[in-house]
Structure 1
Amino acid sequence: MAKVLVIGAGVMGLAAAWQAIRDGHEVDLVEAAPEPGGMAAHFNFDGDSIERFYHFVCRTDYPTFDLLRELGLEDSLRWQTTTMGFYTDGQLHPWGNPLALLRLPNAPLISKLRYGLLAFISTRRDQWPELENTSAKEWIIRWCGEDAYRRFWKTLLEFKFYEYADNISAAWIWTRIRRIGRSRSSIMQEQLGYIEGGSQTLIDALVRSFESAGGKLHLRSPVQRVTTQNNRVTGIDTPERSFSGDFVISTMPTPYIADMVPDLPEDWKQRYRAIQNIGVICVVFKLRRPATSHFWVNVSVPNLTIPGVVELSNLRRDLDNSIVYVPYYMPTTNEKFSWPEERLLTESFGCLQRLNPNLTSADILGTHVARLRYGQPICEPGFASKIPPVQTPIAGLQIADTCYYYPEDRGIAESVRLGRAMARAIPEPESAPKHVPGPSHTMELPV
């Protein structure tokens, strides 16, 4: 059998390792952190197991459904009717359906109609190739007009991408609208899903199944170098030991690649270095009472420097208290990214009090702050041509991270899809056990 080394035990790395061992390979999965899961990993929030960074499931997340079925977890998926809010002009309004849009005060009817038309068409289109080289700002203004862009989109983009806001790919925005728009039971009703017990349920099952099949998971093992000989991968080095391998799958963030794989051609290193990322900070509150009745609230107020709020407990009904995420997205060069936790907590709770003036500090039962330097790729127009192929010029070495989901956004389904596709690209040993596949929704690797 082939010896496969997988770098990174986030969902993509776990999915790749699981698929590779199912295909008959010998697999070592190497992770720098003390626990598996990556962005889907949990922390103990005063007795509640909660994701550091919020997750949800949509109706079109087929790779997630396939994996849950394989792991015997299909009964753990729960669907919940959810709602959206929109905070603007000092008021929190219902959002996310045609009636809420039409009833929104202080907005011209033509702006609302054009906004609704764009959402309707975006949800129903399967292909929109001309958006690849168009900015989201240009596309939205063309369809909705300047007024609708300013009211509904401008601050959302600015507080997610800051100085890059005017040059984000329209294709990336469109696929986000489409994914959420297709997760509905009707035009009036949104439905989202969650895994009972949170993402940790899936992580634990993947690790358990991987190790029971003979796979080896190595935690606290940061990879320092991918080794090669005669333009073929030979293994990886960590501070504690070296691993030999016939194939290496890296799911590390692309900013690390040039230093980690010194034998790559220089032009490939430059392509990895050219991919930029936004950092993310999630400030998480445990509250005595709900902040809002919505799963998520979009914020469109220039002096509230957040794009929105996510109240996970309005999706996950297995939680006893209100769990609210206040996400900050920004370049890591922004001074706010280095703010101390107390300052972030003070500002973010002030944002929640704007949404719900009845909240007081006495409602706070617990707080947590999670930071990630590489949280969101900056996908500018033409981004598809900027991404290097998954298969590198070094034989046996595949490299991908969350930017390879483009034009789709980050999510568990895309992690599973790409991780398994990378493993399936490795030739199977002739003696590999044959698995009878269920319904599958695979993807081709970017080339």
Structure 2
Amino acid sequence: MSNVIVIGAGPMGLAAAHRAATEGHEVHIIEADDRPGGMAAHFDFGGLSIERFYHFVCKSDTATFALMDELGIGDKMRWTPTSMAYYMKGKIHPWGDPLSLLSFPHLSLISKLRTGLQMFLTTKRKNFASIESLTARQWLEQGSGKAVYDTLWKRLMELKFYGLSDDISASWIATRVKRVGSSRRSIFQEELGYIDGGTQTLVDALVGAFVKKGGNLHLSTLAERVETVDQRVTGVTAGGRFFAADAVISTIPTPLVSNLVPDLPPEWQEKYDAIRNIGVVCVLLKLKRSVTPNFWLNIVDPDIEIPGLIEFSNLRPVGDTIVYVPYYMPAMQPKWKWTNKQFVEQAFGYIQHINPTIENDDLVDTTVGRLRYAQPVCEPNFRNKLPPIQTPIVGLQIADTCYYYPEDRGVAESIRYGQMMALSVPESLKVATPISG
């Protein structure tokens, strides 16, 4: 058995550490934050324990269900009938089922039939290898038509990826369509899930099981450098002290890897540095009344600079109306420097524009979260751009959420990849050349 250090206590890091401890290794988690959970961590929002950044569960998230069963919290899974809509030209239009599609007023009948067929077939495909070389725009225009892309997708993609919207992989967007589109009670009813008590329930169970197996969790401890001798891991310097290790699993964002592991060959550092990321400023609002009946409201309006609203309380009942308002943008955008107050005022103004019955005194509480590296930019053939998980340094594995490609960020993929890296520790200690992830 080996001494293993996991850098990062998000879902992937926790899953890796728990599995490594289960395999009998001595494991230390190093986390810069003051709490475990990463993007899935909760905070106290005026007496309500809620995720910093919204999460939902789909029926294909088998890795989540298996881990919850293993931890004895399988009975905490809950399912809710949910809905999606578009806000366009001053009105909210239902979306996501055949009747909504046919009644949608801003597409021709041919466009409706083409988009319905493309989305349906996407949910049935086993893989997307045949469209891997296409951009999302090319794939959507080929299948549904240019009018559909311009009406439903163009504005959303521009607000999510700014000038990079035409670089996004078709496989990435198709996989998102499949994941959500397959999570249904019937062809007429979407059904998404949540964990009773929120993702903190899973985080707490993972941490508790990890510690019970002898694991060590070091919070508020910044990983400064992965130490090596002769291209082999010796440990990690973090929080001003040295942690000896035979193996290291890094789950931090890839843009931070070059500084963390300066002993990587230059060509490897260049590969990590070349992976592009979009940041997010996420405004969280607590309101006295609901904005819409929908969980997800896509927004296509030239005067509204957000791609949508996530009314989380329409998924997980929490007693109040909870709305997440995400602003995606590269951190070099001037708007990134806005104050929290500016973001809150604009977001609440958008909500009042969409639902004029919302009054100023309906706003109960607000907070703003920021992540500099929130959304990987996955272009066509993105998998070929990623370095292998096993690095040229013996004992060192590196991955973050971009490795889930073509899947998007999600707890289930975090669990799957974390467990996979933990089980690969013995192999990582033997190899002298990279193994594929």
TM-score range for the pair, normalised by the shorter chain length: over 0.9
Judge conservation of contact 1:58–1:179 (CA < 8 Å) in 2: yes
Shift of 1:143: 1.0
Preserved contact between residue 235 and residue 246 of structure 1 (Cα < 8 Å) = yes
Task: Decide whether the 8 Å contact of 2:31 with 2:219 is kept in 1.
Answer: yes
Is the CA contact (8 Å cut-off) linking 2:5 and 2:245 kept in structure 1?
yes
Equivalent-residue separation in structure 2 for 1:343 and 1:109 (angstroms)? 42
In structure 2, C-alpha distance between the alignment counterparts of 1:295 and 1:446, rounded to whole Å: 38
- Counterpart residue number, 1:148: 148
Instruction: Give the Å deviation of 1:146.
Output: 1.3
Q: Return the alpha-carbon distance in structure 2 between the equivalents of residues 337 and 94 of structure 1.
A: 32
Structure 2 partner of 1:441: none
Alignment partners' CA distance in 2, 1:133 and 1:446: 21
Task: Tell me the equivalent position of 1:293.
Answer: 293
Matched AA of 1:183: S
User: Shift of the alpha carbon at 1:93?
Assistant: 1.1
Residue 280 of structure 2 aligns with which residue?
A: 280
Report if the CA contact (8 A) 2:284-2:368 is conserved.
yes
Counterpart of 1:66 in structure 2: which amino acid? A
1:169 aligned partner, one-letter code: S
**How many residue pairs align between the two structures?**
430
Residue 383 of structure 1 corresponds to which residue in structure 2? Answer: 382
Q: Could you tell me whether the CA contact under 8 Å between 1:132 and 1:384 is conserved in 2? A: no
| 1:213 aligned onto 2:213 | yes
| Counterpart Cα distance in 2 of 1:116 and 1:356 | 28
Q: Which residue of 2 aligns with 1:159?
A: 159
Q: Distance in 2 between matches of 1:446 and 1:229?
A: 23
Please tell me the root mean square deviation across aligned C-alpha atoms, in Å: 1.0
Determine if the alignment matches structure 1 residue 90 to structure 2 residue 90: yes
* 1:370 maps to 2:369: yes
Q: Contact between 1:228 and 1:234, CA under 8 Å: does it hold in 2?
A: yes
Separation in 2, partners of 1:17, 1:323: 32
> Which segments of 5 or more consecutive residues in structure 2 lack a partner in the other structure?
428-434
Aligned equivalents of 1:391, 1:347: Cα separation in 2: 44
Could you tell me which residue of structure 1 aligns to residue 323 of structure 2?
324
Q: For 1:362 and 1:335, locate their aligned partners in 2 and report how far apart those are by CA, in whole Å.
A: 30
The letter of the residue matching 2:333 is: N
Q: TM (normalized to structure 1)? A: 0.95
- What does 1:351-366 correspond to in 2, within 5 Å? 351-366=350-365
The within-5 A match list for 1:33-432 is: 33-317=33-317, 319-427=318-426
Q: CA deviation at 1:329?
A: 0.7
* 8 Å contact kept, 2:222–2:239: yes
How far is 1:239 from its partner? 3.0
**CA distance, structure 2, for counterparts of residue 357 and residue 382 of structure 1:** 44
TM-aligned CA deviation for residue 427 of structure 1: 2.3
**SS of 1:85's equivalent?**
strand
Return the offset for 1:331: 0.8
CA contact (8 A) 2:160 2:328 kept: yes
Aligned equivalents of 2:126 and 2:352: distance in 1?
40
SS in structure 2 of the partner of residue 92 of structure 1: strand
Amino acid at match of 1:256: L
The equivalent residue for 1:26 is: 26
- 2-side partners of 1:68 and 1:182: how far apart? 21
Q: What's the counterpart of residue 432 of structure 1?
A: none
Q: Distance between the aligned counterparts of 1:248 and 1:15, measured in 2? A: 14
Looking at structure 2, the residues matched to 310 and 353 of structure 1 have their Cα atoms a distance apart, in angstroms, of: 15
1:320-341 deviations in Å (ceiling 9; x for gaps) = 0000001111111111111101
Equivalent residues of 2:106, 2:151 under 8 A apart: no
Tell me if the contact between 1:283 and 1:367 (Cα under 8 Å) persists in the aligned partners: yes
Cα deviations by residue, 1:9-46 (Å, 9 ceiling, x for unpaired): 00000000000000010000000001110000111010
Cα distance in 2 between the residues matched to 1:111 and 1:351 = 29
Question: 1:188 & 1:52 partners in 2: Cα distance?
Answer: 31
> What is the CA distance between 1:240 and its match in structure 2?
2.6
In 2, the alpha carbon distance for the partners of 1:105 and 1:159 equals 23
Give the C-alpha shift of residue 212 in structure 1: 1.1
Amino acid at match of 1:388: P
Instruction: Provide the secondary structure at the position in 1 that maps to 2:161.
Output: helix
**Separation of aligned partners in 1, 2:331 and 2:119:** 32
**Could you tell me the percent identity over the aligned residues?**
53
Give, in whole Å, the separation in 2 of the partners of 1:408 and 1:127: 11
Q: What one-letter code is carried by the residue in structure 2 that aligns with 1:420? A: Q
Retained in 1: the 8 A contact 2:30–2:238? no
1:353-378 residue CA offsets vs partner (Å, 9 max, x unmatched):
22211111110010010000000000
Structure 1 match to 2:430: none
Deviation at 1:446, TM superposition (A): 4.7
Q: Distance in 2 between matches of 1:221 and 1:132?
A: 40
TM-score by length of 2: 0.97
